[in-house]
Amino acid sequence: MKSFTYERARTAPDAAAAAARVNGARFIAGGTNLLDLMKLEIETPAHLIDVNHLALDKIEQTSDGSLRIGALVRNTDLAADPTVRRDYGVLTRALVAGASGQLRNMATTGGNLLQRTRCPYFYDTNQPCNKRVPGSGCSAIGGFSRQHAVVGVSGNCIATHPSDMAVAMRILDATVETIRPNGSTRKIPIAEFHRLPGDKPQLDTVLMPGELITAVTLPKPVGGTHLYRKVRDRASYAFALVSVAAIVQRDGSGRVAVGGVAHKPWRVEAAEAEMPRGAKAVTAKLMAGAHTTKENAYKLPLVERTLATVLAEAKGQT
C-alpha cells in the first residue's frame, strides 16, 4: 500500500471542498472495497477524507411520503429498518443477500453504490485492464469470461457491477443526492447514476471529481410483492452470476431489474409490459442485443429461469 495523508471532515461541504484541494483525494467511510483496492495498489489515493463523522446516518420519511436514506447508513441498519422492511422489501432482501454480516455492519449506502467491479482481470495488476489503466486493453475479452457482462458491453470492457443493493435501488427508482466541491447540490436518478463502459470504462458513475453522495431517496411505496433472488456459486459471501429483483402486482404487472449481467444494474422498462405474459416474453426484451461469449452464454437462459422462479413465487404469495 502506498503512503497517503488523512483528514477527518466535519461537514459534507467541508468534505467536498477538501477533495478539491488535494489532487488524488478519496472519501472513505466503511472502506470495505476501497481498502482492499489500496492494498493491491489498484487504487492509490494520495489523500483520504474520512466522512464517518458527518451527520448522514439517518433514515427519515419526508413530507411527500418518500424515504430519505443518509449515505452513511450501514447496510445492516438499512436492511433491518421497519419502514424499509414493510414498504421496500426488495431492498431488505437484496442487502441481506450481499456480502457477510460483518461487512454489512461496516458497509454504507453511499459506498455500496460505488463498489468497483470484481472482474478478476481488474484485480490482477499483471493483466491489461482498461478500467485500471485506460487504453491498456481488456483481458476478459478473449479470456475466461464466465462471470462477465452479456448486455451493455463495449469493445473496451465486459465487467459487471457487483452491488446487490444497487439492483434493488434501480427497481425502486431511487434518486442519489450529492454535494459538489463548490457547495452546489444535485439529484441524480439511479437510472442515470451508473455508466455503461463505452469508450471510458474507467468511469463507473456520472459523479464529478470531489462530488460526495449525501443521501439516497426512495419515492412513495408502490406496494406489490417484493422479491430478490440471487444465483451464485456458493450459498453466501459470493457475488451474483445472475440476480433478479422484482415487484409484482396482483394483476401480474410489475417491475424487474437484473444484476450480474451488465456494467450497471440492468432494467429495461419496456420489457416490464410483458410481465403478465411470463418470464420468456420479459427476458426476450430485457436481454435484447446481448453479446455473449462461450463461457457466459448460460446467463441468458439463467435470467429467464430465475425470473420464472420469482414470478411463480410472487403468484403464490398474492
Among candidates 20, 255, 211, 1, which has minimal Cα distance to 113?
211
255, pLDDT greater than 70: yes
**Among 137, 159, 164, which residue's Cα sits nearest to residue 243?**
164
Residue range 204-218: mean pLDDT, rounded = 97
5-8 β-sheet, strand order: 5-8, 47-50, 25-28
Provide the grid cell at 291.
453479446
DSSP state of 139: T
Long-range contacts of 143-146 (CB under 8 A, 24+ apart): 144/295, 145/293, 145/295, 145/296, 146/295, 146/296
Euclidean distance between CA atoms 57 and 183, whole angstroms: 20
Q: What is the pLDDT of residues 8-23, one digit of tens each?
A: 999 999 999 999 999 9
pLDDT at 317: 77
Distance in angstroms (rounded) separating the CA atoms of residues 68 and 216: 6
The residue count of the chain comes to 318
46-75 pLDDT, tens digit each: 999 999 999 999 999 999 999 999 999 999
Residue 318: pLDDT band with limits 50, 70, 90 = low
Mean pLDDT of all residues belonging to the chain: 97
* Cβ atoms of residues 119 and 131 within 8 Å: yes
Q: What is the pLDDT of residues 99-132, one digit of tens each?
A: 999 999 999 999 999 999 999 999 999 999 999 9
User: Could you tell me the CA-to-CA distances from 257 to 152, 183, 189, 250, 295 in Å, in that order?
Assistant: 14, 34, 15, 19, 23
Query: Which tens digit of pLDDT belongs to each residue from 222-252?
Result: 999 999 999 999 988 899 999 999 999 999 9
% of the chain with per-residue pLDDT over 90: 97
The strand ranges marked E within 252-315 are 254-259
CA distances from 32 to 29, 116, 205, 289, 305 (A): 8, 11, 18, 34, 32
